[in-house]
């Protein structure tokens, strides 16, 4: 079969099993768009800004486990995609981003809509390719999918000069079944003796903690994690990226840890004697002050990326390998050992944890006449039966969503953890909904974040993705305002948005349903109404208490045991 | 802070060098010298990079380098017996008695004089970094017109080698 470069691109996507491609046309990719027009296998989703394309593909990838695919043009098309590529890179999300490039003959001449896409994206991709030869096109695309989805996943950019896709030049096409890259062999199996050593350490633990991150979700190791955690009977805490891989409603779950983690999770970290870290990267928002991190703990760290191990925190037993494979082997070794959860008495440890838990560090004023954002999330959880896919933007609403929506399953909580990209939530929700047409999809956002990619409301209408935008509107860039209150004597420098649009009318102008909610009692009926309108995108503009802060909090330079609690919650008795 | 010589086999692809250089600048690692040239295998280049840092930093450097898809293999030469060499060309002002003195110094360091004019020499010296540094210390600063150094390159001793 002889195909042109443009046809090869589209055919490769089909052969790779790609369902959706998120993109925006332009000069350098017109040949590819023409080839897309002439087939029905791969469905193109037209976004309104290239950043939206990358976030939508990202949301699709996070929620389905399949790679997200993006197609943008050269120059501004590629640079607009960079924020989304960097977002995916920081959270290790598999994306294949196809960017158009000016024809080979004019590369380097500052041609119209030319930019050095390979150079610009190099620091925020797992790898990138410039296709310099038509005969290598199919193989390069295959390599891109292989690299993006194996080992520690990540975005891969394939930059394709326009003349490579020339419809007049045809070559024989065959999609490679496999690909071998001599310099790339991700480790799958963990070192057996390291696993044995880890099991020995776990057996001797008196105050153990399990701490897991996004790697468990990316590695589809949720079941293995649940089996191991239940077998051990140890307390477990998770990072922002890890939520959902262990049921949040389970008694062994202590909630999220870190800057806005729970008191019980952070105190547990501070006082543990053995820490089992799985698919987590000891991020600064998780560890707090490094010098005070888990001062008495021996640390076991399982991760597929050797560079994540001992990067910020030295660990005692590193295990490099695929998380699921390692956890399963660990379980086998544990079962063959004389370990019995019942024989290992950690009841004193659990008693301490229950004492910390009793402080109810996430408590808030349930009798306020104002709408409390925390309560909105609780009601969202109730109305959706805890089964929704929830995306978020970045800020206070993101933390409240993580704290109050109890995720019981992996891939349901979709947010930009590493890069912290405002504008992520809405396009990501569109990608999630396309991947899960029957599911409830909510985007928890704020009036500042939502405006960063609000143009994607048009995309939501075009593809009838019935998502529910929960806008926690407090009139401030809430997290900025909170830091200014705590650290800058309430000098609210530029964190107040004076000229907010009328979101209800804006949603209506985009062809959606808009509902404003101003009273606490109206929240639940509005949520119920929104989810009843199954196929419609509904924008709930919920006016929440502008003074509310996210608690508890570890402020900069503090350790896990030095949390700032909500006013009225004192841990003095405990700390004395 | 210890000096490390990291020898890297890297795919001979456009942009491979910038991936390594970019990694160092993005993560704030320091590069003392960097040399790249083809190898016996046309599909690969050999890069020799001299850096310094604590053990933790150097461990991260080697892990991060290994993570680059274009890096085929690498070895920290300084961890085992090895030979290191650097080539230096120095242009010196040489007149009167100085011509004799510089020639003698050149002999001591087994250097070669590559170019001679009535007022200057170009001298070639090869050796470890410390030897080249010592040679330069032997010539008064105001006699030196120009110094060009290749950066360090190296190879492990014995039969061990770095192959794909």
With H, G, I as helix, E, B as strand and everything else as coil, classify residue A228: helix
Disruptive mutation site among B8, B20, B54, B69 for chain A (greatest number of A CBs within 10 Å): B69
pLDDT in tens, chain A (576 residues): 899 999 999 999 999 999 999 999 999 999 999 999 999 999 999 999 999 999 999 999 999 999 999 999 999 999 999 999 999 999 999 999 999 999 999 999 999 999 999 999 999 999 999 999 999 999 999 999 999 999 999 999 999 999 999 999 999 999 999 999 999 999 999 999 999 999 999 999 999 999 999 999 999 999 999 999 999 999 999 999 999 999 999 999 999 999 999 999 999 999 999 999 999 999 999 999 999 999 999 999 999 999 999 999 999 999 999 999 999 999 999 999 877 765 568 999 999 999 999 999 999 999 999 999 999 999 999 999 999 999 999 999 999 999 999 999 999 999 999 999 999 999 999 999 999 999 999 999 999 999 999 999 999 999 999 999 999 999 999 999 999 999 999 999 999 988 999 999 999 999 999 999 999 999 999 999 999 999 999 999 999 999 999 999 999 889 999 999 998 776 655 553
pLDDT of residue A419: 98
Q: How far is CA A203 from CA A170, A198, A237, A315, in A?
A: 63, 9, 19, 18
pLDDT of residue A343: 56
In the block, tokens 């929620």 appear at A63
Q: Between β-strands A513-517 and A441-446, what pairing exists: parallel, antiparallel or unpaired?
A: unpaired
In this prediction, does ipTM exceed 0.90? yes
Calculate how close chain A gets to B67, using CA atoms only, in Å.
Answer: 8
CB contact under 8 A, A130 and B164: no
Helix/strand/coil for A116: coil
φ/ψ of residue A478, rounded to 5: -55, -45
pLDDT at B161: 85
Strand-pair partners of A208: A274
* Residue-by-residue DSSP string for A356-394: HHTT-TT---TT-SSBPHHHHHHHHHHHTTT--EEEE-S
Task: Give the residue from chain A lying closest to B65, CA to CA.
Answer: A307
Nearest to A315 by CA among B2, B56, B75: B56
Mutate to test the interface with B, among A119, A180, A183, A290 (most CBs of B within 10 A): A183
Question: B71: which chain A residues are within 8 Å (Cβ-Cβ)?
Answer: 183
Catalytic position from the list A7, A16, A22, A50: A50
Q: Closest partner residue to A122 among B19, B72, B164, by Cβ? A: B19
Residue A128 Cα, gap to closest chain B Cα (Å)? 9
pLDDT at A293 (0 to 100) = 94
Write down the pLDDT at residue A498.
Answer: 87
DSSP conformation class of A190? P
Closest approach of A449 to chain B, Cα-based (Å): 28
Q: What is the pLDDT of residue A345?
A: 83
Token pair for B58: 């150097």
State both tokens at A367.
Answer: 């009798």
Peptide bond into A232 cis (omega under 30): no
Task: Decide if A375 contacts A364 (C-beta within 8 A).
Answer: yes
Smallest Cα–Cα separation from B36: which of B49, B51, B22? Answer: B49
Q: Which residues of chain B are at the A interface, by a Cβ-Cβ cutoff of 8 Å?
A: 11, 14-15, 18-19, 22, 26, 56, 59-60, 63-64, 66-67, 69-73, 164
- Residue A457, φ and ψ in degrees, nearest 5: -60, -30
Main-chain phi, psi angles of A187, to 5 degrees: -75, 130
> Which parts of chain B sit beneath pLDDT 70?
none
Residues of A in contact with B59 (CB under 8 A): 310
Q: What is the distance in angstroms between the Cα of A153 and the nearest Cα belonging to chain B? A: 12
Residue B27 near residue A123 (C-beta atoms within 8 A): no
Q: A323-336 and A192-203 helices cross at what angle (nearest 10)? A: 60
Vertex A377 angle, CA A542 and A426, to 5°: 65
């Amino acid at each position: 079969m002889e195909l042109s470069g443009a046809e090869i691109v589209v055919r490769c996507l089909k052969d790779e099993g790609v369902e959706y491609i998120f993109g925006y046309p332009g000069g350098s990719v017109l040949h590819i768009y023409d080839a897309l027009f002439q087939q029905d296998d791969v469905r193109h989703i037209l976004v309104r800004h290239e950043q939206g394309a990358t976030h939508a593909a990202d949301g699709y990838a996070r929620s389905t486990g399949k790679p997200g695919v993006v197609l943008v043009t050269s120059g501004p098309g590629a640079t607009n995609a960079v924020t989304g590529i960097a977002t995916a890179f920081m959270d290790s999300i598999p994306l294949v981003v196809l960017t158009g490039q000016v024809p080979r003959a004019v590369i380097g001449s500052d041609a119209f809509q030319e930019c050095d896409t390979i150079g610009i994206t190099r620091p925020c991709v797992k790898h990138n390719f410039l296709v310099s030869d038509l005969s290598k096109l199919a193989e390069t695309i295959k390599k891109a999918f292989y690299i993006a989805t194996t080992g520690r996943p990540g975005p891969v950019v394939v930059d394709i000069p326009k003349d490579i896709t020339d419809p007049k030049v045809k070559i024989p096409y065959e999609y490679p079944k496999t690909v071998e890259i001599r310099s790339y062999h991700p480790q799958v199996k963990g070192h057996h003796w390291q696993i044995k050593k880890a099991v020995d350490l776990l057996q001797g633990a008196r105050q153990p903690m399990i701490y897991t991150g996004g790697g468990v979700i990316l590695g589809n190791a949720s079941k293995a994690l649940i089996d191991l955690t239940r077998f051990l009977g140890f307390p477990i805490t998770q990072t922002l990226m890890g939520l959902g891989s262990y049921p949040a409603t389970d008694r062994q779950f202590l909630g999220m840890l870190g800057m806005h983690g729970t008191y019980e999770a952070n105190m547990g970290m501070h006082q543990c004697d053995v820490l089992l870290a799985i698919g987590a990267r000891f991020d600064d928002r998780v560890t707090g002050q490094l010098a005070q991190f888990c001062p008495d703990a021996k640390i076991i760290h399982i991760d597929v990326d050797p560079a994540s191990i001992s990067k910020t925190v030295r660990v005692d037993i590193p295990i490099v390998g695929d998380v699921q494979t390692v956890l399963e082997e660990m379980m086998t070794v544990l079962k063959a050992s004389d370990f019995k959860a019942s024989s290992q008495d950690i009841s004193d440890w659990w008693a301490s944890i229950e004492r910390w838990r009793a402080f109810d560090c996430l408590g808030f004023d349930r009798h306020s006449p104002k709408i409390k954002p925390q309560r909105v999330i609780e009601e969202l959880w109730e109305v959706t039966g805890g089964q929704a896919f929830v995306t978020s933007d970045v800020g206070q609403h993101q933390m409240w969503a993580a704290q109050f929506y109890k995720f019981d399953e992996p891939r349901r909580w979709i947010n930009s953890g590493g890069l912290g990209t405002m504008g992520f939530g809405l396009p990501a929700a569109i990608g999630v909904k396309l991947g899960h047409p029957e599911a409830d999809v909510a985007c928890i956002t704020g009036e500042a974040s939502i405006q960063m990619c609000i143009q994607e409301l048009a995309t939501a209408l075009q593809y009838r993705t019935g998502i529910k935008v929960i806008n926690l509107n407090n009139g401030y860039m809430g997290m900025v305002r909170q830091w200014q209150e705590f650290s800058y004597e309430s000098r609210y420098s530029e964190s107040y948005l004076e000229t907010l649009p009328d979101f209800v009318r804006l949603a209506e102008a985009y062809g959606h349903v808009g509902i404003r909610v101003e009273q606490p009692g109206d929240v639940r009926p509005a949520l119920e109404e929104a989810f009843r309108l199954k196929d419609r995108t509904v924008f709930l503009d919920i006016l929440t208490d502008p003074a509310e802060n996210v608690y508890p909090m570890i402020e900069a330079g503090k350790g896990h045991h030095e949390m700032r609690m909500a006013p009225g919650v004192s841990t003095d008795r405990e700390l004395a | 802070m210890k000096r490390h010589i990291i020898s890297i086999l890297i795919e001979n692809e456009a942009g491979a060098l910038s991936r390594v250089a970019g990694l160092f600048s993005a993560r704030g690692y320091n590069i003392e010298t960097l040399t790249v040239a083809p190898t016996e295998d046309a599909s690969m280049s050999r890069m020799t990079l001299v850096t310094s840092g604590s053990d933790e930093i150097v461990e991260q450097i080697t892990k991060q380098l290994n993570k680059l898809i274009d890096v085929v293999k690498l070895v920290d030469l300084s961890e085992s017996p090895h030979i290191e060499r650097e080539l230096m060309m120095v242009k010196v002002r040489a007149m009167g008695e100085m011509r004799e003195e510089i020639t003698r110094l050149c002999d001591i360091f087994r250097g070669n004089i590559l170019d001679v004019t009535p007022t200057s020499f170009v001298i070639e010296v090869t050796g470890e970094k410390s030897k080249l540094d010592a040679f330069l210390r032997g010539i008064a600063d105001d006699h030196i017109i120009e110094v060009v150094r290749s950066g360090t390159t190296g190879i492990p001793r014995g039969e061990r080698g770095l192959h794909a």
